[in-house]
Chain A
């Protein structure tokens, strides 16, 4: 009896959550819709964007930029449907979009390797698709607009190589286990530094989290004191966490390198914390994404797909002002 009650509540709770999820999606579509409605969009192509998780800074930025980019086109209408970082949800969302007759699906994949077969299947059945920002190259006929994670690692690693001694002592902070971005960025560092005598004192998984980066750094400072020359972090948040720990221990000579290049990094570089980061530019990515989708839908693109690589941008104290201004203008930073 009690179990029945509990399961009923479980179902209710799940319904509530799904309703909340749908609500989010609808809201996105309203946004996109209201943006488009002035243009009059009867018979416009229906395009769905499936981000990983709208509560993540990059995903929500990309969604904003895509919405803006799609406003330039009268014959395309964008709907955003969130997956809250649950792979199963994203796969269900794809199913729904195909059965609802969307003409094009832009996917910001949670796990590209797991989704490749499904994507290939839908393309086969006649719904063209695009992987945006992350792509393992597993689907030949899917369009792809990405900033290569390996290149992101490379530009920072090359800058870091100029900044630190050949036999520097470094500590390394990694993203979640198995994460493609983290693995590729780490590989780029490996390749750039392969001829140097870099000494990796510590290396741990910080799960992209600022608090973890901070905690590891506190412990490492205990063990190695002022011997640490640089922190090589596979994202900015963990590097900035490590900076907080170093600040607290009054160590000023350590260099910090991240990747991502979002508002937090720009602020930190401006304040003299972070030394360098690399940006995958969501604005460029969104414009390219909208262009490719449009060309495929109108038949201008005969093949039905296109693979685009976005150049990555190195941000250091020299050019950070430009990004501070940009992030302030687009609302990611409030002054």
Chain B
């Protein structure tokens, strides 16, 4: 029953994306070129990695608002370490550990002390941003030299490294969600926490680990971002958490938890990327872009929601909203 519902969702997203590609290629002769499509992938890759993290958290019925600032902080600290040591693996490791550390703190309060994730992760935004600004005195980090291979190099001469990172994270997220016990527990907790507890799932541990994983993903996104920007700019991560939420929700992740896939998130992110890209190619002015983007996002979610309404959808939605109330 569940797998059928997810299939319909996945196809509806592919259909929306296919329709967009057709329309876009008619609107602009520059759209359907190899370099432009590569550009789109490059531009969405960082948000998409954040969205994979956000998706896992939303599946459990929680939210992680610290992702953007955490990316900015971990990415910038990694730059600092790289500039000081010229050791890329070490810098990368420091970034990952910082991400994990913030995840540990998020998880401690959300999973262990059972505080609302909205508040905890909102507070962690300022902690992360404050920490990096305290260290740098509000200055950006320039001349990061070889660190830019994380964001500007090409694999096999043609595939941008950012896209490679995105694909690797896609595969990891997909495997985690679909083929591990941990992944299945995430759905179980998001679908109905009480039932998950009754089934003997260690909810605290699972949620805690989900936040650590989310932190690590965000840190990786941050390092890729700084590599692409060729500088350590703490403030650039700002807002990625909401873009990530948009991508996950368009991608069919249920906001009340219990449903969502890595591929859905990936498609959701690409849809936004295509939208931004075509409007820039057509030279549509900034204000109109904002309005169009807002309505298209609502439209995409509406189409998606209508397509799944029917036999299975309502029942599942009802049970997951029950779960939310009973929390």
A residues sitting closer than 8 Å to B (CB atoms) are 5-6, 9-10, 12-13, 16-17, 20, 24, 54-57, 59-61, 64, 177, 202-205, 209-211, 214-216, 218-220, 222-223, 237, 240-241, 244, 248-249, 263-264, 267, 331-334
User: In the assembled complex, which residues on chain B have CB atoms less than 8 Å from the CB atom of A5?
Assistant: 116
Which segment, of B50-58, B224-232, B306-314, faces chain A? B224-232
B288-309: CB near A (< 8 Å → 1, else 0) gives: 0000000000000000000000
User: In the assembled complex, which residues on chain A have CB atoms less than 8 Å from the CB atom of B116?
Assistant: 5-6, 9
B285 near A: Cβ within 8 Å? yes
B6 near A: Cβ within 8 Å? no
Q: Are A211 and B236 in contact (CB under 8 A)?
A: yes
Q: Are A220 and B280 in contact (CB under 8 A)?
A: yes
Find residues 12-60 in chain B having any chain A CB closer than 8 Å to their own CB: 28, 30, 33, 35-36, 39, 42-43
Contact of A211 among B33, B126, B229 (CB under 8 A): B229
- Give the size range of B's interface with the partner: 35 or more
User: In the assembled complex, which residues on chain B have CB atoms less than 8 Å from the CB atom of A263?
Assistant: 139-140, 142
Given A210-B231, A222-B30: A60 in contact with B36 (beta carbons within 8 A): no
B168 near A: Cβ within 8 Å? no
Contact of A222 among B39, B129, B139, B233 (CB under 8 A): B39
Q: Are B152 and A244 in contact (CB under 8 A)?
A: yes
Q: Identify 14 new A-B residue pairs, CB closer than 8 A, beyond the known A6-B119, A20-B126, A219-B39.
A: A9-B116, A20-B127, A54-B138, A60-B139, A177-B286, A204-B280, A211-B225, A211-B229, A215-B43, A218-B42, A222-B30, A237-B233, A264-B231, A332-B139
Q: Are A223 and B138 in contact (CB under 8 A)?
A: no
User: In the assembled complex, which residues on chain B have CB atoms less than 8 Å from the CB atom of A219?
Assistant: 36, 39, 277, 280-281
Cα–Cα distance between A219 and B31 once the two chains are bound (Å): 9
Cα–Cα distance between A20 and B286 once the two chains are bound (Å): 35
B234 near A: Cβ within 8 Å? yes
Q: Are A331 and B137 in contact (CB under 8 A)?
A: yes
Nearest CB of chain B from residue A52's CB, rounded to whole Å? 11
B residues sitting closer than 8 Å to A (CB atoms) are 28, 30, 33, 35-36, 39, 42-43, 83, 115-116, 119, 122-123, 126-127, 129-130, 133, 137-143, 152, 225, 228-231, 233-236, 276-277, 280-281, 283, 285-287
Question: Could you pull out 17 A-B pairs where Cβ atoms are within 8 angstroms?
Answer: A17-B123, A20-B126, A20-B130, A55-B129, A56-B138, A56-B235, A202-B283, A204-B280, A211-B228, A211-B236, A218-B43, A219-B281, A222-B35, A263-B142, A264-B231, A331-B137, A333-B143
Cα–Cα distance between A244 and B230 once the two chains are bound (Å): 8
Nearest CB of chain A from residue B293's CB, rounded to whole Å? 13
Nearest CB of chain A from residue B324's CB, rounded to whole Å? 10
Cα–Cα distance between A209 and B280 once the two chains are bound (Å): 16
Q: How many A-B residue pairs have CB under 8 A?
A: 103
User: In the assembled complex, which residues on chain A have CB atoms less than 8 Å from the CB atom of B129?
Assistant: 55
Contact of B126 among A17, A209, A241, A332 (CB under 8 A): A17
User: In the assembled complex, which residues on chain B have CB atoms less than 8 Å from the CB atom of A20?
Assistant: 126-127, 130
Nearest CB of chain B from residue A234's CB, rounded to whole Å? 13
User: In the assembled complex, which residues on chain B have CB atoms less than 8 Å from the CB atom of A61?
Assistant: 138-139
User: In the assembled complex, which residues on chain A have CB atoms less than 8 Å from the CB atom of B234?
Assistant: 55
Q: Are A218 and B229 in contact (CB under 8 A)?
A: no
Cα–Cα distance between A120 and B43 once the two chains are bound (Å): 46
- Top 6 A-B pairs ranked by shortest CB distance? A60-B138, A219-B280, A205-B286, A55-B133, A9-B119, A222-B30
Given A9-B115, A57-B139, A57-B140: A223 in contact with B281 (beta carbons within 8 A): yes
Q: Are B36 and A209 in contact (CB under 8 A)?
A: no
Cα–Cα distance between A210 and B227 once the two chains are bound (Å): 12
Cα–Cα distance between A202 and B282 once the two chains are bound (Å): 10
Contact of B229 among A56, A214, A223 (CB under 8 A): A214
User: In the assembled complex, which residues on chain A have CB atoms less than 8 Å from the CB atom of B285?
Assistant: 203-204
Cα–Cα distance between A10 and B123 once the two chains are bound (Å): 10
Cα–Cα distance between A121 and B122 once the two chains are bound (Å): 36
Cα–Cα distance between A203 and B289 once the two chains are bound (Å): 13
User: In the assembled complex, which residues on chain B have CB atoms less than 8 Å from the CB atom of A10?
Assistant: 119
Nearest CB of chain A from residue B158's CB, rounded to whole Å? 12
Q: Are A210 and B126 in contact (CB under 8 A)?
A: no
